[in-house]
Structure 1
C-alpha cells in the first residue's frame, strides 16, 4: 500500500534565478518543500506500481503493453518516453482514458491537467494562457480578428499540419487518430502563435486495405444527433491510397432563448475530409490532406440572474449566432537523399476561414435589432516549410526554413459601434533547427534555435464612430435640464418644453438645448469623429534559443531539463468601439522545465511528471480606453508576470482486463510588475491569470468483461478560477467535479459495436466563464445609445442587465452504433 500526499499551498515561489534584465543564469535553487513533496510523491507512487508490473505473472503478455506513443507536434518524431516537455497524448477512440466519454475538443481539454476552456468555448487556456492572452469578454480578445484566429495567438491549433481556428465552437473527433496537447512555449519549432502551447490533431491516414466505418449517434432530448462515416482503400496497390471522412453533428442544446422561444445554443457542425497518400521507392512518402468545414453555433451564455435561479435561459434579442466556413489543405512529404540517415521533408499549407458573428450587445430583450453588432473575419494563410533531417548514432535532428504569408480582413459594424475594418498582411521568414547529441551512454544534450523575421502591414478604416465623451456630457446635461423643466423624459416634446418656458422654469435657450439633446440621444446621433484611414508598418526580428539535458537513470526511467525562449511578435491595430489606433512591441518568456518519464520494462506502466517555471517580460496587456465603453481596449506592453506548477500523468494496464489512469495539475500565476505608469496595471499586481485554476485532477478506470462487454468511468476536478484579470469576486467561477461513464458492447462475430455514454453523470451545475461586471458597465453606457423614440427614453433607466455567465454542459446521454465493413 502507498499514499501520495501533495500540498499545493507549499509550492515554491521561485525555481530558477533570473537576473534583473530577464536573462536566466543557469543556476537552479534547491527545490522547496512543496516541489520536493511532489517529486517524492511521484517516486513513491511509481515504485509500487512498477513493482506490481514486474511481479505480475502476466508481465510478459504483449496484450498488456500500452504500446509506444509517437509525438509529432515537436517535429522530432520521438516516442513519448523520449520527449522533453509536458505533453499529453489522447486517443479519441479509447474510452479508457482521463477524457472519459468526451467526444469533441472542448470536452477533451476540460479534462486534462492545467488545461481549461477559455472564454466559453472560444479557444482554450494552457496553464492560464488563453489563445488571445487575457481576454475580457466572450469575443473581445487581444487581436484584430475576433471570430477566427490571429497571427498573434498564444495557443496554436493544428489539424494535419493546418492551422485552424477554435473560435467557431467545438468540433468533433470523428476519424481522429490522436490529439497532442503541448504545454508551454513551442516557439523554437512552431514559431509565432505558440508561446503558451499548442494542440496538434492528426486524423487517420489512408490505408492500402479497403475499409469502411459508419457511426450513428442518438442522444436524449438534449443529447443531439450525429452521423459519420469514413472510407479508405488503395487506388494503386502499395503506391497510392485514399481516405474520405464525413462528420455531421447537431446539438446538444441546453440553453433556451425565452425572448424568441427557440434554442439559444443551437449547434450544427459539418466536416468533410479527403486524404491521399503516396509511397514511393526507398521510403519516399507524400500525403495530401484537405478539409472543408461549416460551423453554425448559438450562444454559450445565459442570464446570470436566471442561472442563480436554476435556469439556463438567455433573453438576447437577437440570439447570438456564429457561422464559420473553413477550407484548408496541406501537402507533406519526406524523401531519402541517398544516405541512410539523411532525408528532406516538406510541408506546404493553405487555409482560408470566413466567419461572421451576430450578437446582441446588451444581451437583454430590449431594443430588438437595435443594440446589435456583426463581426466578420476573412483570413487566408499560405506557408512553406523545408526541413533537412539527419538521424544517426551521434546526432539526431533537423534544420529548416519557413515562410508564411497571413492575410486577414476583420470588420465590425452596428448601430451602436459604427463601422471599423482592419486589414493585415503579415509575412514571416525563419531559420530553425533542433538536434540531440549523446554525451555518454546515458546523457543527451539537446540544442534548438530559431531566427525569425516578421513584417506586417496594417490598414485601419473606420467611420460612424461614436463620440463617447460628448455622449456622456450630453446625457448628463439632458437630465439636468429635464429636471429643471420638471418634465419626465417620456414627456419631452416641443409643446411641453414651450409650457415649461412660459412657466419660467427654463429659458428659451435652455428649452432649445433640451429639445436638441432629447432628439440626438433618442436617435443615437453621436457620430461626430472624423473618418479614420490609416496605415501602419511594423518589423520585428528575434533569436530564440533552446537548451536541454536528459539522463537515463535506468532503461525504464529518464529525467530531463530544458530552458527555452518563448516569443510573440508586436503589431498594430485599432480598438473595437472607437477605432483608437495602437502599436505594441514583442513580448518574451523564459521557460524552464524539469521532468521525469518512466515506462516499465513490460510496457504496462507509463508515468510522467513535469515541473515548470515561466518568466514573462514586456507582456502585452489589454487596457481600457477612458472614452470608450468597458469593452474597448488597446494593447500595450505594460507588465511582467510569472507562473509555475506541476503536471503528473499516469497510465497503468493493471491486468488484461483492468486499466487505471489519472492526472494532476498544480498551477500558480501572478502579475508581478507594472512597466508603465498605470494605476490600472498597478492594481493588477499580485493577481492571477484568467482561467488559471490552482489545481486540476482526473482519475478513472476501464474494465473489459467477457463476451465483448466493457465499462469505464472517469472523474475530473477543476478548482475555482477568475474570468477577468481584475480578479473580481463576482466573476470568479467555482470549482467543479464531473463524472463520465461509458458502457460498450462488441457484438460477437461481427464488426458492430454499441456504446452507451454519459457525460456529467450527476448533472453538475457549473460555470466555465463569467461576464457580469463588464456587461453591467456596458449596459449602463448603452442606455443612452439605444435607437429608440424619445417617448421610450423613460424606460431606459429600467433596462438592467446583471450580466451573463457561460455554463458547462449538463448531463448528456448518447447511444452510439459503430459498424465496420
Structure 2
C-alpha cells in the first residue's frame, strides 16, 4: 500500500515563531533524518531496549501470552517506542494504532475513544475499558493520564465483554507500568519547545532490602503558557500547569506470593476549550476571541493493592482499587463576544469508585487452560452545573440561567470464565461467558428556566446480561496463527443527566456483535511480524443523541449501525540498527437506522447510510527507527513517524467534514550510555486540521490541531 502524495501545505496564517533559528533547526532535523534513513551503518549493539519479535508478551487475555498466539486483534507498543515517538498521552498514541481514534479537545476533561468506528456520544459513558496495571478507570474524564515509565500499552480491538464486562463493547486499552526489581535505576528527561512549553519526567526504583522489597517512583510536570492568543481579552490562552506522581511498593512475601501497593496522584490545571467559528479558526489557528475565561482543572487520587499467588496447580490474583476524581470545568460555549449572544457553562464534578477483582487460573497443562473470576464495582458521581444563556441577538429571549444537580450511583457484579482447549496439537477452541449485573440509581434536580420547566426525578434501573465469546484457532506447522471469533459487547442503559426528557429520562443498553477473521505470522527468520484482521460489527439499540422539537437534547436508543474493515500491523527488525513499524486500517462504518432532528437546522432527517462520525476510513502510520554507532561510545538516533489520517465527519448528518491530512514527526539525537539529547519536530508539514467541530444552530465551531512544534529533550539514566 502506498501513501497518497504528500502535499506541501500553504503557510498557516499565524503569529507562531517563524524565526531563522527555528527554520534552521527544522532543516537540520529533516535532512539529518533523511540522511540516516538512506545510510545503513554497521554498529555494535548499544545499551537500549530492543523489541524481541519472538517474545512480545501481553496480558490482554488476563494472563501472560505471546501476542502472536493470542486469537484476537491486539496491538502493543513498548516504553522505548513511546519515548522515540514522543508519545505523552493517549491522543498521541492513537496516531500509531490501527482503528484507534481519540476524539479530544480543550483541556484533559474529554477523551472520547473510538475503536473500529464505535465510540461514545456527547458526554455519555465510554465504549472502551481502560485499565492501568489491572485497575479499571471507569470514567473517560480520567483517561488522559500522563504516560510516564511505561512498560507497554496494549490495545484490544473488538468487544471484550467476557473478560472485561460492560463499557468495553469496542475494545480495551491496557497500560502496564514498569515494576521495580532488584536493580536500582534512575531516569530523568526534560523537554522544551519553541512555544515555551516545558515537560519534566522522573522515574526511579531501588530495592529496600536485599531480595524481597522494592520501591518504584515516577513523577511528571508540564508547564506551558499556551501558543494561542485570546485577542479579545489580550491574553495568552492554552496554559497548562500539570503534575502527576506514582509510587509502587513491591513485596515478594515468599517464593509463591507477591504483593504490590500503588498510590497515584494527578493535579492538572489549565485553560478550557480553544474553540471559535470555523472560518475564523482556519484563517488564524492561533487565535480565539472569547469574552469569558474558562478553566479545566482536575485532581485525581488512586490507591490499589494486588496480591498474586503462584499456586502448585492454580494461580490466584486479587486486585483491590479505589479512585477519587474531582473536576472544575467552565467554558465560553458561544466561543465569541457577540452582543446579545452569550452561552457559558460551569460544572463541578466529583467521582469515586471502588472495584474488586478475584481471578483463578490453571497451570501446568498446555492442552487445557481455564480462567474464572468474580468482579465487583461501585461508583458515585455528583455534578453541579450552571449554564448562562442570552440569545436575544437571534430573537430567542434574554439572559436566563439554568442550574442542575445530579447524583448517580452505579454498581456491578459479575462472574466470568474462559476455557482454551486443544482439540488437536494445532487446533484450539476458546470459549467463555460472563454473567454481568448492573444497577443504576440517579437523582436529578434540573431547573430549566430557559424552558420554563423544573425536572426532579429519582429512580433506579437494573440490567443483567450474558456476554459470550467463542474462537477457533489453527497453528500451522510454521507456527502461523489463523483464527476466527465471535464476541458480544454491551454498554448499560441508565439515566440521561445532560438534558433528560421529562417523560422519559432513561435509556436502555446497547450491544455490539463482533465477527473476526485473523492471521498472524513471523517471517524472514523471525525478523518480520505480520498481523492481519478482518472484522464485521453490528451495533444494535445504539445510544445516540436526539434533538426534540423543543430544542432539548436527549440520549435515546434510536440507532443501528454496522462497521466492517481490515487492519494490518507489521514490525520489521531489519538488523541491529534498523527497525520499521507499519500499521494501517480501512473502516466502512455506517448508520443503518437513525432518524433525528438536525441540531443545526431543527428539521427531521434520516441519517441511515451516513458514515459514523469520528471514524477515518483510511488511517496509516509508518515509523522508521535507526540507531547506529558513531564511535566513542556514542549512538546516532533517527526516527521518522509518517501518520496519515483519512477524511472523516464530526456529525451524524455528515455536513462537517475533516479532509485527509498528514502528520510528519521527525527526531534526531545523540545517545551515550548514561545520557541523550534529542531534537524533534512534530507536525513538520504544519498541516491544519480540526480536532473537533460542532454546530448547535449558530454556526460551526472548531478547535485547531497543534501546529508545527520544534523541541529538544535531554535525558539521563543510570
2:649 and 2:315 mapped to 1: Cα distance? 48
2:440 and 2:51 mapped to 1: Cα distance? 53
Q: Does 1:644 align with 2:571?
A: no
| More helix by percentage | 1
Instruction: Kindly state the Cα deviation for residue 425 of structure 1 after the two structures are TM-superposed.
Output: 0.8
2:92 and 2:225 mapped to 1: Cα distance? 13
Q: Do 1:594 and 1:611's aligned partners in 2 also have CA atoms closer than 8 Å? A: yes
Q: Which has the larger radius of gyration?
A: 1
Aligned partner of 2:529 in structure 1 is: 606
2:674 and 2:341 mapped to 1: Cα distance? 53
2:417 and 2:3 mapped to 1: Cα distance? 38
Q: Does 1:549 align with 2:476?
A: no
Q: 1:267 to 1:64 in 2, by over 3 A?
A: closer
Aligned partner of 1:433 in structure 2 is: 417
Range that drifts further, 808-817 or 379-388: 808-817
1:184 to 158, 172, 176: 158
1:803 and 1:639 mapped to 2: Cα distance? 24
Aligned partner of 1:520 in structure 2 is: none
Aligned partner of 2:30 in structure 1 is: none
1:96 and 1:211 mapped to 2: Cα distance? 17
Range that drifts further, 81-90 or 661-670: 81-90
Q: Within 5 Å, give how 1:88-107 maps onto structure 2.
A: 88-94=75-81, 100-107=85-92
Q: Secondary structure at the match of 1:172?
A: coil
2:402 to 411, 418, 426: 418
1:254 and 1:580 mapped to 2: Cα distance? 46
Aligned partner of 2:263 in structure 1 is: 290
Instruction: Kindly state the Cα deviation for residue 674 of structure 1 after the two structures are TM-superposed.
Output: 4.7
Q: Secondary structure at the match of 1:619?
A: strand
Q: Does 1:709 align with 2:681?
A: no
1:732 and 1:683 mapped to 2: Cα distance? 18
Q: 1:63 to 1:245 in 2, by over 3 A?
A: closer
1:535 and 1:129 mapped to 2: Cα distance? 34
Q: Does 1:692 align with 2:677?
A: no
Q: Do 2:532 and 2:569's aligned partners in 1 also have CA atoms closer than 8 Å? A: yes
1:384 to 333, 356, 359: 356
Deviations 1:732-767 (A, max 9, x none): 1111011111112112xx411111121111211122
Q: 1:602 to 1:334 in 2, by over 3 A?
A: farther
Q: Do 1:639 and 1:676's aligned partners in 2 also have CA atoms closer than 8 Å? A: no
Q: 1:434 to 1:300 in 2, by over 3 A?
A: farther
2:202 and 2:446 mapped to 1: Cα distance? 46
Aligned partner of 1:738 in structure 2 is: 663
2:136 to 163, 177, 181: 163
Q: Please, what is the CA RMSD of the aligned residues?
A: 2.7
Aligned partner of 1:820 in structure 2 is: 717
The total of aligned residue pairs comes to: 651
2:235 to 249, 259, 262: 262
Range that drifts further, 430-439 or 386-395: 386-395
2:439 to 430, 450, 455: 455
Q: Do 1:253 and 1:265's aligned partners in 2 also have CA atoms closer than 8 Å? A: yes
1:233 to 175, 194, 206: 206
1:193 to 167, 178, 194: 167
Q: 1:369 to 1:217 in 2, by over 3 A?
A: farther
Gaps of 5+ in 2: 5-44, 390-400
Q: Secondary structure at the match of 1:574?
A: coil
1:568 and 1:461 mapped to 2: Cα distance? 25
Q: Secondary structure at the match of 2:227?
A: coil
1:63 and 1:691 mapped to 2: Cα distance? 34
1:544 and 1:676 mapped to 2: Cα distance? 30
Deviations 1:184-234 (A, max 9, x none): 1111111122111121111111122222112211111x2510122122111
User: So what's the TM-score if we normalise by structure 2?
Assistant: 0.86
2:121 and 2:447 mapped to 1: Cα distance? 28
1:595 to 497, 507, 518: 518
Gaps of 5+ in 1: 8-57, 136-140, 143-151, 468-527, 780-801
1:578 and 1:256 mapped to 2: Cα distance? 39
Q: Do 1:673 and 1:685's aligned partners in 2 also have CA atoms closer than 8 Å? A: yes
Deviations 1:495-529 (A, max 9, x none): xxxxxxxxxxxxxxxxxxxxxxxxxxxxxxxxx32
Instruction: Kindly state the Cα deviation for residue 112 of structure 1 after the two structures are TM-superposed.
Output: 2.1
2:456 and 2:300 mapped to 1: Cα distance? 29
Aligned partner of 2:10 in structure 1 is: none
Aligned partner of 1:768 in structure 2 is: 691
Instruction: Kindly state the Cα deviation for residue 568 of structure 1 after the two structures are TM-superposed.
Output: 0.9
Q: 1:273 to 1:286 in 2, by over 3 A?
A: same
1:647 and 1:210 mapped to 2: Cα distance? 40
